[in-house]
Amino acid sequence: MNPGLATSLVLLVIALIGCVLSLRRAGRAARHGQALQTELTRAQAETRARERELQVLLRSVQELIFRTDAQGRVIYLNDRWLAVVGDAARHALSQPLLQLVPPACRDELAPLLTAQAGHARRRGRFRIPTADGRARHFDVSVVPWYAGDQLAGFSGSAVDVTERVEIEERLGAQLAFSDLLLDISPLPVSLVDNEDRYVTVNHAWEEFRGLQRQDVVGKLATSLQDPAEWPVHQTHRQHLLAEGGRIRYEAHMPTGDGSLRDIILTRVAVPAANGHTAGILTVLTDVTEFRDAERAIREARDVAEEASRAKSEFVANISHELRTPLQSILGFSELGLLRAHDQPRLAAMFSDVHAAGQRMLALVNDLLDVSKIESTVGTFHLERVDIRPPVRTVVQELAPLLAVKRLHIELDLGELPLSAKVDPLRLQQVVRNVLANAIKFSPERSAIEVHGELTPDGDIRLRVRDHGPGIPAQELEKIFEAFVQSSQTKNGAGGTGLGLAISRKIMEAHGGDITACNMPDGGSQFELTLPSRGFADTLTGDLITKPIPLTY
């Protein structure tokens, strides 16, 4: 074979092999490029899906999200901006972010969008007037982002804190109002913590104690208290810390001028958020004047009682002293009447003397009765009796007076006993006074009704009714006061004004009462009420007499 031909064939084979290899490499490269394209298409589709998800997420959040370039011009705003600032958000792209906030708030936001703060996160607050005219407050957080060493822009978000700000403002207003109320309160008020250190005091407390607030806050309360009062204060403090609630007690406390005052302390436990006691609020009430007045009243009462006792003793003594000469005057006037029966002129003179002596003796007896009842030496002798016989005895005694005016008594005391525990002589004195008044005011030839009965409650009621002029309505109670007479005495009936006052005191001493009223068909009626049991039964046993001192 020709060597040149052989060489050519070898070269041809080598060339063919190179072509085959090149074709294989080209096929492999084409297949690899197709795979890369498929992967790129898939990555792009996934990126678009992530972008859509991110956009949906950004539209759903309630925060304001933004991004700006290095000069603070808006690159991106989420949809929340449109709801807050309205159409201004539609035209905000490429505009400064500061234009979306009021001029008054730009000074607060502008420092957050500068390069001077470096890479650190920036925080602040700004206010935006919303489309409905309401101002909303936002807490903003801004983070700068860089391209290499160069500031590329700012990203941030703002949270709506309007409700919190409004609550804080209302709370601040309430706290300011509470501080104002505390400070203008006329009562000294202080607050201590659970370690008994002063937290605050009001202006009235400063004036009362003569101390300034700044000099007191932080000090222990015991440092300003009288050591003698420590046990009382600490006992109540421990109770409040353990049990809570409110305590009121009285103590002595020095004032700024050094004087010791009587103080009522009202202390209230102040609850903490965890349910424990955070401190104790104390209000001071100065009652020194009240205590001084009470002491003065007690002293005045003691003086008045002593004067009343001395007066009663004087009246009793003078009454006894007057009785002796009166008895002589009455005795000699009666003797004169007997011896001057044949000398009319002299008999008339002795009769006048005798009548005047009788009136004077009645007055002295009334004064003596008053002194006995009002003094501690007056005594009642109580016993269980049927009151009907003593009443009949009084009616018989007054028969001469009834005959003078030709009056008659309709006596109805029932068939059953009217038993009560009484002093018979004292009861007769009351009945005598009431019947004597009825005789004085009754017209001639009229009737006086005396009726006794048991009430449904078991008490005894005795009624004395006349047909006289009656008693003015406004005087029905006054006639039972000492030395007070009804205006009806102007008809000449007279009297000392003591009989009914004595009668009421006697009835009250028996646990009963005496009242007066006017009858529809004319005249007046006096009603005596006695308990048949209870009050009197607790004094002594049946049928046993016992002196009972009465003090009024």
CATH code 3.30.70.20 for 185-286: no
Question: Residue 158: in which H helix or E strand, if any?
Answer: strand 150-160
pLDDT at position 409 is 92
Q: Is the pTM of this model over 0.85?
A: no
DSSP 3-state assignment of 327? helix
Contact present, 435 and 464 (Cβ < 8 Å): yes
pLDDT at position 321 is 63
Strand residue runs (E) in 202-354: 246-254, 260-271, 277-286
Same fold, 59-162 and 378-549: no
CATH code 2.60.40.2250 for 378-549: no
Strand residue runs (E) in 163-296: 189-193, 198-201, 246-254, 260-271, 277-286
Distances (CA, A) of 419 to 67, 372, 430: 109, 26, 17
Residue pLDDT, tens place only, 374-420:
554 356 788 899 999 999 998 988 887 888 889 999 999 988 899 99
pLDDT at position 316 is 63
CA angle 384, 386, 390 (to 5 degrees): 110
Cα dihedral sign, 335-336-340-344:
negative
Nearest CA to 390 among 524, 249, 475, 510?
Answer: 510
Mark the ranges of the chain whose per-residue pLDDT is less than 50: 376-377, 491-493, 534-552
- Side chain identity, residue 114: T
CATH code 3.30.450.20 for 59-162: yes
Could you tell me the residue ranges of all domains in the chain?
Answer: 59-162, 185-286, 298-362, 378-549
What is the spatial distance between Cα 471 and Cα 450, in angstroms, rounded to a whole number?
18
As separate numbers, helices (DSSP H) first and strands (DSSP E) second, the chain gives 13, 19
